[in-house]
A and B are shown apart, each in its own frame.
Chain A
Amino acid sequence: MSGAFAKLGALVLAAVLLVGMQRYTPGYAEITGPIPLTGKIGETLTGRTFSVRADKVLLAERLRFKAYGREVERDTGGVFALVIAALEAQPASVNVGSAIWRSAQGARFVASPRFQGAPRLLGTDRLEPGLPQRGLVIFEIPRESVAGATLLVAASRWPRLDTQAEIALPATLDTPAPLIDLSELAYE
């Protein structure tokens, strides 16, 4: 009788294990997804192919800049978030082409494409070892996505088995400035 109970117990245990494995085994995309490197603002994070440090976040309702010899002004229905950061390749030249603003609610915003030609935009030039680039990344986001966001930096937008720097941005930020002129911005 006890042998029958043991067999039944083993069967139930196997069933529980199988259900658990089916439910909780990570999928292929998760296993081969980005390798997170977490830090906070002001901290240098060194990944497999680059290092990054985000120093400051500024908010603005309008941005002015000079591109291709003419002055351009952009406004938004939300808010512009400017992240001033430093990037450096190591140990070899590399393109770091992805910066994403992930809101506290999980929404992901890629860097705005509305600033082509603006000075010191990060991600436009290839990074070189020993030649750090200091500049900014501009996001256009809804006002409710400002607080508690995370900056994601990676070589590609969907990194596979590669570093993704995840920098926790300040929980609260100053009120957006009515206008920021990028040519007058202090990067240092």
Chain B
Amino acid sequence: MSEAVVSPSVLRMRRISLWALPMALALGIVLQSHENAWEWWRSRELFAREVPASTAASLGGADWKLMGLRRVAERADGRAVMLLDMEAVVRDPEAFAVLPCRLVLEAPDGRRWSPQFLTPSEVNRLPERRGRTIPTCTQALASKPTAGVTLRVSEGFVLPAGMDRQVRPVLSLPAGRPHYLRFEIPG
């Protein structure tokens, strides 16, 4: 059998096709998965913004300020009951109303505690709480406030003994990700 003679133009086309194949594959992957990649980017907490004590920082359509993080009770097994108070001044109601809110306490080693329901006996004895209902972060977002409104937000946490002085509040909102806020505790 004799080898077929291949013309230079055919060889050139073959070479172009070979180089075009990986590019077509890469383009296909981008077209198929760009929505997933965008979703991943918008759902991750990738860039922390440190908020100095007693200052406000903008996130997810509001200016957020830490008003206080207090140990309000201790359970029988030594666990600390903590109360976190925040203030939010709404700037963009539409962005602010996107649920859910992720407000947690974070330890230096990366461990995170989510809010918990506290028994009324643990919080109602605080003077400023008598007769008042302070919304949680998600309740505040769901209330769909107008621009310029100042909201008080409060969440309860239960921490292991000895952790109450080591944690810092971290706030992450869908409209703000991949950025999130980490608040410094005053004093």
Contacts and interface: CB of A to CB of B under 8 A. Distances in A.
B71 interface: no
Interface in B49-100: 79
A129 B111 contact: yes
B136 to A, nearest CB: 15
A130 to B, nearest CB: 4
Interface stretch (A38-46, A88-96, A159-167): A88-96
A93 B110 contact: no
Interface stretch (B5-13, B30-38, B127-135, B156-164): B156-164
A92 B158 CA distance: 13
Contacts of B114: 92-93, 126
Contacts of A90: 111
Contact of B112 (A93, A126, A131): A93
Interface in B105-141: 107, 109-114, 116
B1 A3 contact: yes
Q: Most chain-A CB neighbours within 10 Å: which of B107, B109, B113, B163?
A: B113
Contacts, number: 34
Interface string A118-160: 0000000010111100000000000000000000000000000
Nearest to A95: B114
A91 B110 contact: yes
Q: Which bracket fits the contact residues of B?
A: 10 to 19
Contacts of B109: 91
B104 interface: yes
**In the complex, which of the residues A3, A90, A93, A126 has the most CB atoms of chain B within 10 Å of its own CB atom?**
A93
Given A92-B111, A92-B112, A93-B112, A131 B104 contact: no
Given A129-B112, A131-B160, 11 more contacts: A91-B109, A91-B110, A92-B104, A93-B112, A129-B107, A129-B113, A130-B111, A130-B159, A130-B160, A130-B163, A131-B158
Interface of B: 1, 79, 104, 107, 109-114, 116, 158-160, 163
Nearest first, the 3 closest Cβ-Cβ pairs linking A and B are A130-B160, A93-B114, A92-B112
Interface of A: 3, 90-93, 126, 128-131
17 contacts: A90-B111, A91-B110, A91-B112, A93-B112, A93-B113, A126-B114, A128-B113, A128-B116, A128-B158, A128-B160, A129-B111, A129-B113, A129-B160, A130-B159, A130-B163, A131-B158, A131-B160
